A and B are shown apart, each in its own frame.
Chain A
Amino acid sequence: MKAERSITAARYSAGQTIEKLSTFATDVLAARHYPHTGPVGDQLRSLTPLFNLLLATRTAGSPALVVRTGDMEIALRIDYDMNAEDNLSVPSMGLLDELPADATVEIAVLVTEEVAPALAALVSRADRRPARITLTDAASWRPERPEPGPDVPPVPEPAGADDGETSPDDATRAEQETLEQETLEEETARPAR
């Protein structure tokens, strides 16, 4: 299961935001009846100095926190826009199995800038059982999303296509389509002004 939630940092003190981040992560695990939610919460709260820096300097990634198990990836984004909507609702987990005590739980803290070695060491110290906690460069993190289907239905094979021959008209059309596609890709790749 993949889901994304958000918290509006501008509405809370840093301490409250950090508490909500930690509670959300543990609530997600509790929804799957994971027995070690308390220790995971402690692991996250031990990173308070790091989260304080990320909130103050706005260097948390988007998302800022990802809770991951084999069959679940819940991302939490931090918004700074006062008008953004908070959504810390825990997704329904009824379609997933309970998380056993020995399940591998990974929590990634995503950052947009390198943090001081002392804070990175804090993460290393927190990275112990039950949850694996990592400090991850936001630029290198990509959510796994399914590829959307094509917008245009596939063109049916013309009669006689099985013989493997291509008529000159077909070849010209194919070249034209390739050219149009390349032009489109170039336009898409060009930065917006």
Chain B
Amino acid sequence: MEEGPALYSLHRFSGRPDDRSPFAADWKAIVTASALKDTLLRFVDTLQRLGSVPPQALGLRRAVLLFGPPGCGKTSLARGLPYAWQREDPRRAAGFMHVNTHALFSGLRGGGQKLVLRLFREISEQASTGIPLFVLIDEVETLGSNRGGISLETNPLDAMYQVTAFLESLDMSVRDSPNVIFVFTTNIPKAIDRAVRERVDFSLEVPPPAAAEREKIMLSALGGLSVAYDVGPVQAAAKKQVREWRRLTQSSEGMSGRALRHVFVLAATLALGSKDITIEHVADALAMVTATETGLDRAGGMYLENFQGR
């Protein structure tokens, strides 16, 4: 009997789109260049149109790689993609399989390979339903690690074999299941084996949000806080584009959308005693987050090591 953590979770999109589902929320929460979302949607349409083209003719892989810093929405985009695609035409149906990458590793010799092969067998089973199946493999570098960087002294050959199993299974899936669409994500594109990188049709960068996008994210976060706090003063400052608000949007450059939202959690924490959140709370929170980041950069994230070495 096969045991262990579930290799994936499965969801079906069909009929009337559920705009209140977590998938819809994921898609809508990502404030990014609209061209990026549009490219993803058109990619799926293109794959549908090329459905009868032999994959070898175009080197078609039916896979896209999303890369970029953490917190910029790669996973959310991938999770929301089948929802958004099905929403465009409710006569469509789509399946979504979110692979639990962490469940694909084993301490047993050959265990990792077996799990990868089992995963792809189950992808094939689900694909045999005939509907477009979106398969999200998050942090793909853990599965398709750069084999040049795998130490044979510290890793048994299993690590190598697991990458090989992944590559061969991908090839087989492209040949046998033309309705499968792979979406890979990574924060560390360099850690991905070149053979994996070449097995995607193209890669898209999901960058940190630009100034206008950051402002939208901040307003969205304020909207969230408005359930528990009076955020009117900050919203008014944003509407009037007062200097403090503009300074906030400028000084948050380089932050991911997720980090920016967390600033408002800290602002709410700072404002715990009061019923409203002011622009000063937000500014203080942003300053604290920035100071923390600077501190971590200076320490190189090695506090524990320094302590032990003392």
Contact = CB atoms under 8 A, between A and B. Distances in A.
B55 A95 contact: no
Contacts of B122: 91-92
A149 B175 contact: yes
A86 B125 contact: no
Interface in A56-106: 71, 86-89, 91-92, 94-96
Nearest to A20: B1
A96 B126 CA distance: 9
A151 interface: yes
Contacts of A2: 125, 128
Interface residues on A, range: 20 to 34
Interface in A138-171: 146, 148-154
Contacts of A150: 54, 56
A149 B125 contact: no
Nearest to B12: A95
A3 B125 contact: yes
Query: Does more than half of chain B's interface fall in helix, strand or loop, or is it mixed?
Result: mixed
Interface residues of B, number: 21
Nearest to A96: B129
B45 interface: no
A59 B264 CA distance: 69
Contacts of B133: 95
Interface-central residue, B1, B55, B131, by most chain A CB under 10 Å = B1
Interface string B158-196: 000000000000000001101000000000000000000
Nearest to A92: B10
Contacts of B125: 1-3, 91
B55 to A, nearest CB: 6
